[in-house]
Amino acid sequence: MVSRIKNILHTLKWRYTHYGFQSMWTALKTYFLNGIRKLQNYLLPPFVECPCCGWKGYGFRYLDCGWFIVPQVECPACRGHERHRFFTLFLKRTPLSFLQNNRQNTKILHFAPEHHFRKILESHENLFLFSTDYAPSALQQVGPPRFVADIHHLPIKEGSFDGIVCLHVLEHVFDDRKALHELERILSEAGELLLMVPFMMDQKETIEYGAPRPDIFDHVRGYSPLDFKERLDMFEYEEIKPETVLSADEIIKYKIPNSQILYLCRKKKCNK
């Protein structure tokens, strides 16, 4: 307990020193609200459920986003966020071509691999699942094949992968347009790219921070849903919103907000 309090105080001091009172106050409120949430999950009946791990409780944890707080985000059991819950449900319900074909060694590349939905991908015996990240430590939780790479310059031949999973990666890279061109380059002619980014729903345009911001998970930009699609002009794509996959009751049960938008991208036919 003493160590926990020291860590909190250190975080609050760091936030105030580097980002000011509002950032510190946001962190303090988040600690307080999550303390209340812990009691609610212990004392009150369950209203929400995590499809990633099966946990049920009164509510998900609050998320500190630097200068604002997002409610109903993190599962206390598996630490899954809204994107993990939405993507898990999407994979279970959507007949993606690379999950449905019977061709052996269908190659899938998973960027910044997260465990929350890996079992679904790994359960398909036809898939040959590769993992990559720019940080070696991020690959320790997954088995081979895995490799360290920079998404701006991928050491991969053109058209090598039948499927690519890239969730909440582009907000961390300095040149997201170059990264997207690299993803298009390594995608096979009939391949599918599954792409998600975090959206700042109240922003009219994407804001470049100029450098990673430690108070908001080292993001280098804040995406607006109003202009993000301009970056996808090298693809044909489908915009998949929660109501496309889930009923109104399920959206409430799993706490999937309208900010969770999945882009299913394919190479343009004119590029073939």
Domain CATH number, residue 225:
3.40.50.150
Is residue 69 within 8 Å of 27, Cβ to Cβ?
A: no
Contact 142, 164 (CB under 8 A): no
Joined together, the tokens standing for residue 101 give 């074909």
Q: Among 64, 80, 96, which residue terminates a domain?
A: 80
Give the whole-angstrom CA distance, residue 21 versus residue 150.
36
Of 80, 108, 128, the last residue of a domain is: 80
Least confident stretch, 11-15, 167-171, 205-209: 11-15
**Are residue 127 and residue 142 in the same domain, yes or no?**
yes
Q: How far is CA 95 from CA 101, 205, 269, in A?
A: 10, 33, 21
Which of 38, 65, 80 lies at the terminal end of a domain, its last residue?
80
Structural domains counted in the chain? 2
Angstrom distances, CA of residue 266 to CA of 87, 111, 140, 195, 234: 18, 17, 30, 11, 9
pLDDT tens-place string over residues 150-200: 999 999 999 999 999 999 999 999 999 999 999 999 999 999 999 999 999
Residue owning tokens 């490799």: 147
| Percent with pLDDT over 90 in the chain | 77
- 152 and 235 in a single domain? The answer is yes
Query: Does residue 103 surpass a pLDDT of 90?
Result: no
Give the single-character DSSP code of 246: S
Task: Report pLDDT digits (tens) over 209-259.
Answer: 999 999 899 999 999 999 999 999 999 999 999 999 999 999 999 999 999
What is the residue range of 35's domain?
A: 2-80
Say if residue 119 is in the same domain as residue 253.
Answer: yes
Same domain, 141 and 259: yes
One domain for residues 48 and 108:
no
